[in-house]
Each structure stands twice: as structure tokens, then as C-alpha cells.
């Protein structure tokens, strides 16, 4: 059974459908058909608005027809078709949207006076249609303007229709039983069309007010402001208000902009970028925009409330993009616009942002959050902002003036300038990786030429205000030069060491990039010159040359183009041969560059990070980040993005690191923790170690791999171990502080050295081992060559001959274990005696840890004693006189390459606690064997075939 309300709805839809049909045929179609095309832009715009209104009217008629069909079906089959089948209920949102579009199209025509202008073009036609218009609506005067009649003809039927919708739906809701299946649909539809009624009334009022405004404004502001969709919400002529510190004769609030009029000057402010300060002072409230902030002042509190409420709701409406805010005094709770928004804006005021367009997140009138800033000249900045300034990680492209190239900065920013770690790819085919301060390179950094650069050069060191200053390394591959030393104002200045690709080394003083004063020059053949030089290291002035054979030439030196080197002095040929350590092994740079201050630019940011309490958001800025490859670098410039290895949740990760650190404080767990931390590129200790590795490779690899720099490298590695241990202790104190626990007591020097050499050094040494061991190889190349020759000669002999030559007592020879005849034992046995000790000693090359190397040596000594004890049938402790020849035998059979380099590296890196102990004794014994094998009598051994014994 159908309700009376449903029947009334059917009649309502039938009448409205017929009315829409007549409006389309009698009013809308004649407005833009059979009329000449307007020649003026305003006329063409009105024609477009009328055409849009016609399309909206057609859609409204189609929806009404669909609703009518659903009502007829319901009334025809009430038992089988339920109430929910009605389009007004099941498709209420769609029906509402069609009505809203029609209202917007209609009010656009009202604002632009499209009906009046169209009627004026065909005035004779509309005079003849007055009778037809009177059939559509009531109250049309026979003498009134046609345009007004047209406005009424399209407004009255719709207003009445929506009003009846609301009444009938409310009546239907009241007649329904409680918990009826379709009650919720009816309530929803009634609410929607009730809101539509309010919206339509408000939209029509705003349209009329806006139309009146356009008629009253002068031509210049009207042309600047007038658009079909813009609606006037408040006028200061209705509710007076003044603006300070800006001056304005009139204030207009539209649904999309706030306008201040001063004479012919029009200031517009996009409402999406207007913030209303919630705090108010009497009859005044505060407004914020991207480039201005001002106060609205009213004569009375009521005016202030009206303006603040209207502006606030207009901002909300603009952000939502819907014209549906409630009317003042309706009792609804006012909306509050969000403080944070995402918008685009082009700055106009003079300053660094003039003509720049920012697109991204805002807060209180300032760029805040993630965003993109673009200037007309091609500059781009993509990254994080805080209160209007670049702050946090960002990528900035800066075009070069002369060429189609860019400088690309991937850096951390602080209050508008680069500060912290960053990577910059210059258009000059150079890449800088390091620290910035106030927009300039400052602190530690690496500047390197790319493969495309015409000159290949690399600087690793310290910077001050965008210039190389302090300790730094420069390698110029084109010139074949490697400089280690001090810099000032982008020039070599102070003590320095120069190494050339030819093996020539110079140590002296530089001033303004020039060599000044006396210095030391070491040539590849170990000739030593002490005196003064020219810029290209040519001998000039007074000096002394010490030749490798001991001759000394002292006097004055000079040179000229094509004349070679000239000298006048005394050649002393009676001098004794020099100590090899005076020239061949002379170490440069020691004392000139205090090891504790060389790389403060690397240690400094880490300690800044600790003093700040290890905040996760500063980890990248202070400790750096890593870009995987040159391909990623190019991609970051092309797409303004940077794939960094640093995870997003850096703060949470830092908490986990400190928590894990507290859980691994006992010795065994600590060793495992430090090993894991140092190998992890995301751990603060791992990041610090990788930067130190970079400096070490820059200094001692390539041209820098020179034997005269071994001393510098050795003390640097030890210093790094101390700094890394101090860094761990610093992290531990921060972790304890975060937990509210008491800090650990300061270590005494002995305990600290034990941890540095016994724990940290063995863990971090593998990271530097390749370059460091190469320096040891070069430094001990001569001795290792003699040693290798001696080993080669000793290898020619069978075991018994070698044991006999080394004066090993025969009762210690381990031959009785071999199942061979006496003659075979004396002639054929080779590499069989003390085999376990020999194999054990060979393992010294399989580890980089000095402590493990010493343990190998200890086990080797144990294997020798165990073999001797087995031969004698009782436990036997070997005195030094017996141990040394046996150890020489084992060393000769182990054939360890570069044993001299191994011995000296072990001694230099050995834990000081072992000095004077067993390990020191065993290392001294091994060193004695090494020196003994180098002697000439090992190179002139009797031939094994000289023996009279049978083979």
C-alpha cells in the first residue's frame, strides 16, 4: 500500500518535469539560438554560461524523469517494489548533486547578468513571449523588464520544488513506523534536501549581492575581480572594519579571495593561504598570509565577531572546495580551518623569494614541511622547510650563467642555508662530499673531479668558509703529485710533504702555494738532499747531498734551461756509508702534523652529535649519508630525488642502537657488538669508520703509497683506534643518560690503552690493512728481498742437510718417526721435519689481527717444543741456543712472503701490555731468524751435491 506522500511526490515530479520542459523550450533555447554571435568577450562569456545552464537544466530534467519513473513503478506495484526503489531515496546524493550543479550554473548567469544581456539582444522576441512567461510563474508584471522575468522564470519553479521535497519527505518520515527498513534512507534524503534548501537560499542571496557589487565598482577593480563563480560574502560597507598596518578604503570578502581596495589598487589574498589567528584582542583579530600579516579592527565586538566568523568559514569553504558553510546565527558549531595545508603560491614581494613558486606544505602562512621551490631563472629546491626557510634535507639545483649546466646540492639545511653534511655535483664536473656551514663548504670534505673533467684532481681535507684551509691531501694525477700538509685560503701554506709519481719526496714549508726556505728532498735511489729548492723541486742555493754510497756533496746549486744542474762545493768520498734508516727508511711528516689534530674535521661532527644527545633527526646532518653510485647521483639531479641509505625512522633506529649498546657491555658481548657496529654503514661508529677509511685511502693509496710515509700512517691508525674507542664510550654515556642511569667513571690510561689495543685496534685494523701493509712492504723491500733470496737457497736442501747447516743438535732431529731407510732419511727427506710447526707458522699470513698473529707464533713455538719432546721421549723446554736454529729451520720451510713487513707491523700494532712478555720474546726470536736468513752466509751455502753421502 502506497502512502499519500508518495502520490504527492508523483504529482510534484510530474509538474516539475513539465515545467522544466517548458523552461528549456520557451526560455533557455531561445536565449542562445537564432541570435547573432556576440562580438565582445563579455557577450561570448555570457553565451557560454547560458549554454552551461541549458546542459544543467537538461540533466535536472533527466533526473526528474528517472525519479518519476521510479515513483510510477512503485505506485503500480506497491506489493513487489519497495520504498527503497525510489530514486529520491536510493540515489539521493546523485539527485542532490544535479540540483547543486543547476543552482551553480543559474547563479553564475545571475552574477554576470547573462539573462538581461541575452534578452536585450532579442528584445522583440521576448516581448511576444510575456504571456508564455506568465504561464511559468506568478507575479510577473506586464510592464517589468524581460531580464527580471527570465530570472524569476528559472528561480521560482526550482525554489518551490525543493521546498515541497523537504515537506513531503519529512511527512513521509513522520508517518513511518519505528525501525522501518527504509527509515534511514528517508531521514538521509530529508536531511540532504533540507540542507539543499538552505544552500540554495544562501547561493541566490550571494549571487544577487555579487551582481549588485559588480554594478557599483569602477571598471578597473571590476575587471580584476569579476568572474562568474566568485561570490561576495561580506562587505565593509555593510559591517565596517579597518585594516592595519595596511591601508584599505574597502574590504571585500569573497568565497575564494580576500580583497583590500585602495583607490584603483587591488590587493587580493587567496583564502586557501589565509590563516586566522585564534587569539583576539578586544575588537581586533590577526590574519596571516604568505607575504603579509595584518589586523582587522572593528568599532564594536559584534562587528569583530561577524568578520572573524565569516573569514574563518570562508577559509574552510575555500579549502573544501564546496559552498556549503552554514549561515551566521544558525546555531551550528563553526569549523576551524587546518593550520597545516598543502598549496602552491608565487611570491611577489622583493627579496630572495621574489617570483619564486612554492608548492607544498604550509603552516601559519609559512612554507613548513615538504615542498618544492622554483625560481624563474631555473633554480629549484626540493626538500623540507620550517617557518618559511629551507630546513632539513633538501636538493637544490642552481643553473650556471654561461652554459646549460647546473650545480646540484644534496644537503642538509638549517634556517635557510646549507649546514651539515651534503653532496654537491658542480657543473664543472666536480663533486664535493662533505660539510657545509652557512651555505659554504666548511669542515671536512672531499672535492673530486669526475671522469668527464679535463683535469683529474682530488682534495680530501678541511675547509673554512668555502676555501681549503687546515690539514688536507691533494692528488693531482695529471701532474703526478701528491701533497700532504697544511692549507690556507685555498693555497698550500705551512708545513707540507710532496710525493711525486717518480718516487721523489719533499718535506718543507709552503707559503701562498710556493716552496719557501730549506727542506728535505729524497730521491727514488735514496739520495738525500737538505737545502733550498725551486717550485718544481729543482735544487737551488746552498745545500747538502748524501748519496746512497755515503759520499757527501756540500755547496751551492743552480740550474738553467738546457744547462742541467750546476754545483760548486766539496765532495767528501771518505765518509762512512750512512745508516739505512737515515735516508732509505727516513720518515717524513712526523712532528709536522700532530696526529691528534689531523682529522678533527671528521671527529668534530661526531662529538657534536653526542653532545646533542644523539638525536635521530640530526644523524644524517652530522654523520653523513651515502649515495650508492654515480648512477644514483645523476638520477638525483635529473629527478630531484636522492635515494639515501638512511632509513626514514632515524629517531627510532637510534633508540634501538643505544638500547642494544647497553645490553652488550660484558667483554665477550662487547667485542661482538663493536664488530657488528663497525661493519654497519648505518651505525654511528660504522659511519665514522668509513669516513676515516676514506681519509686513509686518500693519503696513502695511489701516489701516496710511499715508504717514507709509513710512520705517518702507523700513528694515524693508532689514533683512529683511540678515537673510535672514545666514540663508543661517548655513545655509552648518552645511552646511560637516556635511561636515567649514572654515567660510567672515567677510565685510567692503562685501562684505556688495554681496550684500545686489545679490543678496538684488532677490530678496525682490517679496514686500513691494505694501504698500511703496502707501506710496510715498500719500507722493508730491501730486507725482504735479501730474506727471499736466503729462503730460496735454503729451500734447495733436504731436511738433514739444512738441520746440519743450522747446527741443530742431532738428538733433536725428528727422523725416527719416518718409515724410511737411513740413506733415504739423509738424502730424500724434504719438508717433513717439524711439519706441524711449519704449517702452524704459515697461518700468520691468514689474519690481519696482530694479536692473532702473536698467538700463531706462540702455537708455533709450542709445536716445536712438542715435536722435540716427542723425539726425546720426555717434556723438554728449549733454551734460546737450541730454539733459534730450530725456528730458523721452521721459518725457511714455511716460506712466508714479506716476513720483515709482517714482523714490523706486528711490533708496531702490538698491545703495549705484551712488551717485555712472552709475545715480545717470541717476536724478537722471529726477528733474529729473519735477520740471520738475510746474512751473506745464507746466500753462499755449500751445494747439496758437494756431500759425499750417497743419494
Segment 418-438, tens digit of pLDDT: 999 999 999 888 999 999 999
Query: Cell numbers 591601508 label which residue?
Result: 247
**181-202: average pLDDT:** 89
- Cα maximum dimension of the chain: 151
- Contacting residues for 822 by C-beta, under 8 A, at least 6 apart: none
Over range 691-700, report the average pLDDT.
95
**For 285-289, 326-330, 353-357, which range has the lowest pLDDT when averaged over its residues?**
326-330
pLDDT at 949: 42
Question: Which pLDDT does position 177 carry in this prediction?
Answer: 79
Instruction: Give yes or no for residue 636 having a pLDDT over 60.
Output: no
Burial class (CB in 10 A: 0-12, 13-18, 19+), 663: exposed
In the block, cell 521510479 appears at 70
User: Going edge to edge, which strands form the sheet with 250-254?
Assistant: 232-235, 250-254, 257-262, 265-270
pLDDT reported for residue 616: 80
pLDDT at 229 over 60: yes
Q: Angle at the Cα of 489 (from 483 to 492), degrees rounded to 5?
A: 20
- Asked if residue 504 lies in contact with residue 536, where contact means CB atoms within 8 angstroms, the answer is no
Please give the grid coordinates belonging to residue 405.
Answer: 649546466
Sign, Cα dihedral of 107, 108, 112, 118: negative
Q: How confident is the model at residue 950 (pLDDT cuts 50, 70, 90)?
A: very low
Q: Is it the case that residue 559 has pLDDT exceeding 80?
A: no
Burial of 254 (0-12, 13-18, 19+ CB in 10 A): buried
DSSP code for 913: G
pLDDT at 586 over 70: yes
Looking at the predicted structure, is the pLDDT value of residue 627 above 60? no
CB 896 within 8 A of CB 836: no
Report yes or no: 770 and 918 within 8 Å, Cβ to Cβ.
Answer: no
Taking alpha carbons only, the member of 142, 135, 134, 122 closest to residue 50 is: 122
Q: What H or E segment, with its residue span, contains residue 572?
A: strand 564-572
CA distance 707 to 522: 11
Mean pLDDT of 837-850: 92
- In this prediction, residue 144 has a pLDDT band, given cuts at 50, 70 and 90, of low
Q: What is the pLDDT of residue 607?
A: 94
Q: How far apart are the C-alpha atoms of 177 and 166, rounded to whole Å?
A: 19
**421 vs 627 pLDDT, higher one:** 421
Q: Is the pLDDT of residue 756 over 90?
A: yes
> Measured between alpha carbons, how far is 709 from 699 in angstroms, rounded to an integer?
9
Closest C-alpha among 106, 109, 150 to residue 127? 150
Query: Distance between CA atoms of 688 and 695, rounded to whole angstroms?
Result: 11
Question: How high is the pLDDT of residue 562?
Answer: 64
Average pLDDT estimate for 634-645: 49
At residue 557, the pLDDT reads 84
Please, which pLDDT band fits residue 99 given cuts at 50, 70 and 90? very high
Cα gap 669→677, rounded to integer Å: 12
Q: Which three cell numbers stand for residue 812?
A: 733433536
Q: What mean pLDDT comes out for the span 878-892?
A: 90
Cα 226 to Cα 32, 107, 220, 230, 256, distances in angstroms: 22, 14, 10, 7, 12
The percentage of residues in the chain with a pLDDT greater than 70, rounded to a whole number, is 87
Q: Who contacts 353 (Cβ-Cβ below 8 Å, separation ≥6)?
A: 347, 373
Residue 725 has pLDDT above 90, yes or no: yes
| pLDDT (0 to 100) of residue 325 | 41
Identify the bridge partners of residue 435 per DSSP, sorted by sequence position. 421
| pLDDT tops 90 at residue 259 | yes
Which residues on neighbouring strands pair with residue 260, listed in sequence order? 251, 267
Whole-angstrom Cα Rg for the chain: 46
Q: What is the pLDDT of residue 506?
A: 92
Given a contact cutoff of 8 angstroms between Cβ atoms, the answer to whether 736 and 744 are in contact is yes
pLDDT computed for residue 27 by the predictor: 78
All cell numbers assigned to 282: 578586544
The tens digit of pLDDT for each residue in 62-93 reads 999 999 999 999 888 888 888 889 999 999 99
CA–CA dist 806, 879 (Å, integer): 16
Residue 948 has pLDDT above 50, yes or no: no
Orientation of helix 769-779 relative to helix 899-909, angle to 10°: 120
Q: Which residues pair with 557 in a beta bridge?
A: 541, 567
Contact 365, 289 (CB under 8 A): yes
What lies within 8 Å, CB to CB, of 566 at 6+ separation is 557, 558, 559, 560
Predicted confidence at residue 580, as pLDDT, reads 55
The span from the CA of 918 to the CA of 116, in Å, is 112
CA distance 518 to 226: 83
Backbone angles phi, psi at 32, to 5 degrees: -125, 10
Q: Is 423 in contact with 410 (CB distance < 8 Å)?
A: yes
Cα dihedral sign for 769, 774, 775, 779?
positive
Q: What pLDDT sits at residue 577? A: 66
Looking at per-residue confidence, does 141 or 528 come out higher?
A: 528
Residues 17, 69: Cα–Cα separation, whole Å: 11
Put residue 772 in one of left, alpha, beta given phi > 0 → left and psi -120 to 50 → alpha: alpha
Distance CA 582, CA 586 (A): 5
* Residue 636 to residue 528: CA distance in whole angstroms: 51
Position 677 scores a pLDDT of: 94
Q: How far apart are CA 545 and CA 168, in angstroms?
A: 117
What does the pLDDT look like over 374-396, one tens digit per residue? Answer: 999 889 999 999 999 999 999 99
Amino acid at each position: 500500500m502506497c502512502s499519500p506522500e508518495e502520490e504527492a511526490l508523483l504529482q510534484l515530479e510530474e509538474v516539475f518535469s513539465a515545467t522544466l520542459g517548458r523552461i528549456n523550450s520557451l526560455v533557455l533555447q531561445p536565449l542562445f539560438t537564432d541570435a547573432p554571435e556576440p562580438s565582445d568577450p563579455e557577450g561570448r562569456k555570457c553565451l557560454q554560461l547560458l549554454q552551461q545552464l541549458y546542459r544543467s537544466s537538461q540533466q535536472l530534467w533527466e533526473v526528474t524523469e528517472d525519479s518519476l519513473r521510479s515513483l510510477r513503478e512503485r505506485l503500480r506495484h506497491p506489493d513487489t517494489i519497495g520504498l527503497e526503489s525510489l530514486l529520491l531515496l536510493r540515489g539521493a546524493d546523485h539527485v542532490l548533486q544535479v540540483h547543486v550543479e543547476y543552482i551553480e550554473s543559474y547563479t553564475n548567469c545571475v552574477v554576470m547578468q547573462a539573462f538581461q544581456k541575452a534578452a536585450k539582444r532579442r528584445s522583440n522576441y521576448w516581448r511576444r513571449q510575456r504571456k508564455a512567461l506568465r504561464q511559468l510563474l506568478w507575479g510577473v508584471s506586464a510592464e517589468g523588464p524581460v531580464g527580471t522575468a527570465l530570472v524569476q522564470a528559472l528561480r521560482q519553479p526550482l525554489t518551490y520544488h525543493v521546498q515541497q521535497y523537504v515537506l513531503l519527505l519529512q511527512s513521509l518520515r513522520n508517518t513511518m513506523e519505528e525501525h522501518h527498513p527504509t527509515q534511514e534512507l528517508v531521514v538521509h534524503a530529508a536531511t540532504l534536501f533540507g540542507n539543499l534548501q538552505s544552500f540554495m537560499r544562501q547561493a541566490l542571496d550571494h549571487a544577487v549581492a555579487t551582481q549588485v557589487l559588480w554594478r557599483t565598482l569602477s571598471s578597473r577593480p571590476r575587471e580584476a575581480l569579476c568572474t562568474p563563480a566568485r561570490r561576495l560574502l561580506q562587505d565593509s560597507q555593510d559591517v565596517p572594519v579597518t585594516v592595519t598596518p595596511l591601508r584599505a578604503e574597502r574590504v571585500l570578502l569573497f568565497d575564494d579571495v580576500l580583497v583590500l581596495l585602495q583607490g584603483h589598487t587591488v590587493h587580493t589574498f587567496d583564502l586557501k593561504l589565509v590563516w586566522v589567528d585564534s587569539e583576539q584582542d578586544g575588537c581586533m583579530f590577526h590574519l596571516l598570509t604568505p607575504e603579509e600579516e595584518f589586523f582587522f579592527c572593528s568599532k564594536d565586538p559584534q562587528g569583530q565577531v561577524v568578520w572573524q566568523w565569516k573569514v574563518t568559514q570562508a577559509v574552510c569553504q575555500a579549502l573544501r572546495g564546496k559552498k556549503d558553510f552554514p549561515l551566521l546565527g544558525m546555531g551550528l558549531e563553526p569549523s576551524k580551518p587546518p593550520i597545516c595545508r598543502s598549496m602552491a603560491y608565487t611570491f611577489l614581494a622583493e627579496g630572495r623569494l621574489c617570483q619564486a613558486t612554492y608548492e607544498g606544505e604550509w603552516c601559519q602562512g609559512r612554507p613548513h614541511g615538504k615542498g618544492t621551490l622554483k625560481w624563474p631563472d631555473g633554480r629549484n629546491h626540493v626538500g623540507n622547510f620550517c617557518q618559511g626557510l629551507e630546513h632539513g634535507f633538501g636538493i637544490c639545483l642552481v643553473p650556471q650563467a654561461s652554459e646549460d649546466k647546473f650545480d646540484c646540492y644534496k644537503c642538509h639545511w638549517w634556517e635557510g642555508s646549507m649546514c651539515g653534511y651534503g653532496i654537491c655535483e658542480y657543473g664543472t664536473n666536480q663533486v664535493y662530499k662533505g660539510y657545509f656551514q652557512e651555505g659554504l663548504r666548511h669542515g671536512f670534505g672531499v672535492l673530486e673531479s669526475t671522469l668527464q673533467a679535463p683535469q683529474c684532481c682530488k682534495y680530501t681535507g678541511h675547509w673554512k668558509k668555502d676555501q681549503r684551509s687546515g690539514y688536507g691531501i691533494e692528488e693531482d694525477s695529471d701532474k703526478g703529485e701528491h701533497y700532504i700538509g697544511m692549507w690556507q685560503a685555498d693555497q698550500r701554506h705551512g708545513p707540507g710533504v710532496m710525493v711525486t709519481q717518480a718516487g721523489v719526496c719533499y718535506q718543507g714549508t709552503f707559503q701562498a702555494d710556493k716552496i719557501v726556505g730549506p727542506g728535505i728532498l729524497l730521491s727514488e735511489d735514496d739520495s738525500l738532499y737538505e737545502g733550498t729548492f725551486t717550485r718544481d723541486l729543482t735544487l737551488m742555493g746552498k745545500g747538502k747531498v748524501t748519496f746512497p754510497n755515503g759520499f757527501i756533496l756540500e755547496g751551492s746549486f743552480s740550474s738553467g734551461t738546457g744547462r742541467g744542474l750546476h754545483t760548486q762545493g766539496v765532495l767528501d768520498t771518505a765518509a762512512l756509508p750512512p745508516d739505512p734508516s737515515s735516508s732509505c727508511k727516513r720518515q717524513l711528516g712526523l712532528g709536522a702534523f700532530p696526529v691528534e689534530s689531523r682529522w678533527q674535521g671528521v671527529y668534530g661532527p661526531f662529538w657534536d652529535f653526542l653532545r646533542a644527545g644523539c638525536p635521530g633527526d640530526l644523524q644524517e646532518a652530522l654523520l653523513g649519508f651515502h649515495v650508492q653510485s654515480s648512477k644514483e647521483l645523476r638520477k638525483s639531479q635529473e629527478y630531484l630525488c636522492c635515494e639515501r641509505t638512511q632509513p626514514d625512522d632515524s629517531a627510532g633506529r637510534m633508540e634501538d642502537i643505544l638500547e642494544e649498546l647497553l645490553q652488550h657491555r660484558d667483554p665477550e658481548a662487547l667485542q661482538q657488538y663493536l664488530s657488528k657496529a663497525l661493519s654497519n654503514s648505518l651505525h654511528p661508529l660504522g659511519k665514522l669508520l668509513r669516513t676515516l677509511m676514506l681519509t686513509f685511502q686518500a693519503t696513502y693509496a695511489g701516489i701516496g703509497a710511499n715508504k717514507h710515509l709509513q710512520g705517518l700512517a702507523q700513528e694515524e691508525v693508532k689514533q683512529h683506534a683511540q678515537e673510535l674507542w672514545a666514540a663508543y664510550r661517548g655513545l655509552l654515556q648518552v645511552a646511560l643518560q637516556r635511561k636515567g642511569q649514572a654515567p660510567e667513571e672515567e677510565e685510567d690510561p692503562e685501562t684505556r690503552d688495554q681496550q684500545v689495543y686489545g679490543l678496538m685496534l684488532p677490530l678496525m685494523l682490517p679496514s686500513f690493512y691494505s694501504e698500511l701493509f703496502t707501506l710496510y712492504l715498500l719500507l722493508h723491500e730491501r730486507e725482504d728481498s735479501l730474506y727471499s733470496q736466503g729462503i730460496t737457497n735454503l729451500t734447495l736442501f733436504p731436511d738433514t742437510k739444512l738441520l746440519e747447516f743450522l747446527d741443530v743438535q742431532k738428538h733433536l732431529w725428528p727422523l725416527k718417526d719416518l718409515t724410511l731407510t737411513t740413506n733415504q732419511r739423509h738424502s730424500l727427506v724434504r719438508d717433513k721435519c717439524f711439519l706441524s710447526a711449519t704449517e702452524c707458522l704459515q697461518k700468520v699470513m691468514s689474519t690481519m689481527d696482530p694479536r692473532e698473529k702473536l698467538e700463531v707464533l706462540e702455537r708455533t713455538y709450542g709445536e716445536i717444543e712438542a715435536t722435540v719432546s716427542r723425539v726425546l721421549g720426555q717434556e723438554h723446554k728449549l733454551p734460546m741456543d737450541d730454539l733459534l736454529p730450530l725456528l730458523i729451520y721452521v721459518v725457511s720451510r714455511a716460506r712466508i712472503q714479506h716476513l720483515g713487513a709482517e714482523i714490523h707491523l706486528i711490533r708496531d700494532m702490538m698491545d703495549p701490555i705484551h712488551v717485555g712478555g712472552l709475545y715480545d720474546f717470541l717476536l724478537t726470536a722471529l726477528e733474529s731468524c729473519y735477520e740471520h736468513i738475510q746474512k751473506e752466509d745464507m746466500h753462499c751455502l755449500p751445494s747439496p751435491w758437494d756431500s759425499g753421502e750417497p743419494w
